[in-house]
Structure formats: structure tokens, C-alpha cells
Amino acid sequence: MERVLEPEVMDTEAEAEAYDAMDHSAANDAFVQRLRELGACGRVLDIGCGPGHIPLQLVVQDSSLEVVAIDLSPAMLAIAKEHQAVCSQGHRVQFCLADAKALQFADASFQTVCSNTILHHIPDPVPFLREAWRVLEPGGVLLIRDLFRPTNAEAVQELVALHAASEPPAAQELFAASLHAALTPEELVVAARAAGIQNAEVVEDSDRHMSLQSCR
């Protein structure tokens, strides 16, 4: 199945609110657990934080972490700051507007770099992956998790029926579009090599998720 791109930024209030209302709890829990298993520590960069669920969950579970969470959508960041205001450890997260493809941070300035489900929004993944690797310090933890593209349209509909049957039709359409826009594991391996990421491993985490992970 050919890749069909989605818009890079979910930038309207309605889009951000609809995404925030979807139930991502199981996927977020799995992502945070994997980060902790890999040894996430110190100063963390979360690229494409959306409404802020993951960075806030990280600092609640481990109060030793300090997280810089970036997104290209002001509407998403506005919701993230609302969640931050009622989070007991919210002061440990700094939310800021930034482009994943051109980060303003110095080389090797984070002990942990992570990203959850923004890869499929980016037409060319290589600049994003190169920047994520650039700002990771030697010995640091990298985790880039995303959907992977099924082999055919029938498989897309099966996944939507299995995992989004209780969501509104608009949310189901969004999930289907994201599956169409995702890379395959093989494409992610090629992109990681092109970005210069070393010791990288691509693993399929579920029937729809894959992770690029590496300890530098």
C-alpha cells in the first residue's frame, strides 16, 4: 500500500481538542514503560508532545526527570499547558513551540530523546531523525515510536474496527489516515541509517506500533 501523507501540523482548536479527547492511555502507558526500561534519565526532550500527556506522565512517575516538550502546533501546546496546570509535577515540564526538523538546542544537550506518533506526520523523516540524534548526548537513550503502515486498505479497516470502534467517526477517520501516512518498519530502518543513527533497532511493539530505539 502506498504512503498517503497527512498534514504535518494539527493546528486548529477543533483538531487539537478532538485528538486530546481520544483515549491514548494504553499506548501512552506502553511508551512510558518502554522509556523507563531503556533507562530514560536526566534531561528529556519529547519531540511532538501534542496535548502533553506523555511528558506529564513521565515526571509524575519519575520526579528526577526534567522534560522539555516541543510541538509545532500552538493549539496543542495550549491544551498541554492546561493539563500542566493541574499536574502535581507539572513544573518539571517546559512546553515550547519548535520544529522537529530544525531544533534550537545544542548538540548532545539531552540524556534522553523521545517521540511518540509524530513520525507519520513528517513527509521526509530523515531531517527529524537526524536532529533527534544530534541533540542526544553520548550514552543517551533514543525512543521514536509510531504507527506502521499496513500492507493493504483492508488491514487498515480491520485495525480501525479493532482499536477505534468506540471512537466518533471523525476519530476513526483520523486513525485510518494516520495508518496510511505511516512508514513501514523497512522504511524506518533505511531512514535511520540515512540520518546517521547508530546501534539502532526497529521493533514491532504491537499490531500497529513500531519503535526505533538506540542507546548512543
Residue 210 C-alpha cell reads as: 513500531
Cα dihedral across residues 17, 21, 22, 27: positive or negative: positive
pLDDT tens for the chain, 216 residues long, are 999 998 888 878 988 998 999 999 999 999 999 999 999 999 999 999 999 999 999 999 999 999 999 999 999 999 999 999 999 999 999 999 999 999 999 999 999 999 999 999 999 999 999 999 999 999 899 999 999 999 999 999 999 999 999 999 989 999 999 999 999 999 999 999 999 998 889 999 999 999 999 875
Exposure pattern of 166-197 as b/e (b: 16+ CB <10 Å)?
A: ebeeebbebbbbbbbbbbbbeebbebbeebeb
Q: Where are the domains of the chain?
A: 13-215
State the architecture of 13-215 in CATH terms: 3-Layer(aba) Sandwich (3.40)
How much is the pTM?
A: 0.95
Task: Please write the tens of the pLDDT for every residue from 84-100.
Answer: 999 999 999 999 999 99
Q: Would you say 159 and 165 are in contact if contact means Cβ atoms under 8 Å apart?
A: no
